[in-house]
Structure 1
């Protein structure tokens, strides 16, 4: 990264922190002026001519830059986190790149690689029933053991159960906050957050460290949760639950929406029922979730798609029962993935695999051009192919097919 790149990122932090400059206005300014640095230094007349900011926000920007030094502000924010990731960086989640309202900056405490891994969001009520806790814990354990990162919001209730279950399964989990890292909320989960970070996960926020929790922040947080994930699972939610906002955002972004069925007479499952009525997939186990998001196809499972206590299954799991009674393996078979992958892939997976020639290292941008897929979809498909052992990511954001063990080649060699 050049000194100019570092400087531009400092201006991204300062410009995005000005009250009233949200995502749309931030990217509007960068597009008009060419860079955050140029927008930060624009005169009052130039800002007015851009027609991006209303008068009160223009004044807030002019006042803010009189008393704020971007480089000092960047250094202060950097002290509160492991890394500052902007939409300019390769570590920025692919799933967020094309969504409306994407945050310009993410403050990451923990391992930034978590943001690039295939992930599933698990959300729900702050007051779960014993059934909701049991279903969430069992479902998340399966997902985490499959190597998929579990995302949630660190709230009490279902969020806490999801994070905890992922850790207990030896997996990685990411919390997305509706406050700054300096005001971790709720405080009762500060110990859980530290454990997540020490176990290879992360706690992230789109807000500067001194931002206190607020209702509007949580709405924005929910959109980030939905955008980062391949799919969103609502394990228990009443009508009006914030989890339904996450599910709504997931539908808007084209993500898979799933819900755990519950007692129809229970108030705590009326929101979950709403998700299903709007087209969400019914899931009863982690294996259902993995199939529905395309991490592993139904054909990969040697045993039943194990239903939860309800005995329910998704449509994709029907007809897949085994008389052996064996539990499905949550680890894809690498040899099968290499020798006969096409039967387990969807159309996009086959297209991306075909776009990577044998012995060829192909950059992300080239793959975008070859496949015609949007960046968020391409990133999701590549993540699935990595988990299945079909491709390997190389330095410089390039990808190569993973050769069979007897090919005598290493990935990326010609």
Structure 2
């Protein structure tokens, strides 16, 4: 059987120009054609080793790239169509504007209907309003693209079958829907801060800026909601580090290696102020408030060696009680490595393998811990796994350099 990776390489060499030319003729935009072609080849790298090389690789690549291009065009250029789709999906015209002046935020609140399960309403809203592709949403939820597509399709069918009304929520409805809205804005921000698509800009400021803008509006609507303030603080403290996130050579720069003098002091000050306000409130913090507090610990020192790792681990202990997900456990283990050493952390990370085997950060974390323990051969294998799953060129460049430094 032909090795799948060799087949992708051969297809890239032989078919790239043809696929790009075909898409350019069809869609009239070279940038869209090249991005869609890149996504198609990345999908081939992911699928062909398991599914086998298709009988006609060129046709497979062209079809896949065409679908990606259509997704991109719909996402970037057809926001109005998405609103009409939402209206048709709910099968009734929207009511007057109600309590929310901003059109996009109004639509997000409208689509986050409490009749749908939380993951479903978030995924549907990301697709119909947030402009994310099914592939991007699937990566955010750590599920296969086909499974996410089916989830969104079922959600639309349920809306129609149950005749759930497309109704702009009143001010009294907002507290019941805000958790779904915050989840949508959080995932949009994350996709912008470190994009998951191959051969795309590693940071998309258009998404991070829009997520922050909308979260500020939600805070204006619900000034007493601690989780809204927490999410805004989290976004600001994360966005403050954007300029230091990617090197001039296009490589991801980790928190420990970043030039802290390049951080945005005004955003950090605003984020710290929000965190202090929530601490002074004396109420039990939610998920976003704890994440904001963790980021506040990281951004309150000028040297990574001064980080209070015991406080970071304690905050993650609180977060695990609220959100016992494998991703939270992985992030806690990273902090544990700084406090108790890489061997203790590696034992915790290895227990997460059944849940996170397809998650890039899991393999990257294992690779770093194994490197610190001097287990170079195992570290190299873990880096190789992380590179295969890397979401963009900046991640790939960083992981490749770390792997090649193993000797």
Q: Shared fold by TM > 0.5? A: no
The structure where strand makes up a greater share of residues is 1
TM-score by length of 2: 0.30
TM-score by length of 1: 0.30
The structure where helix makes up a greater share of residues is 2
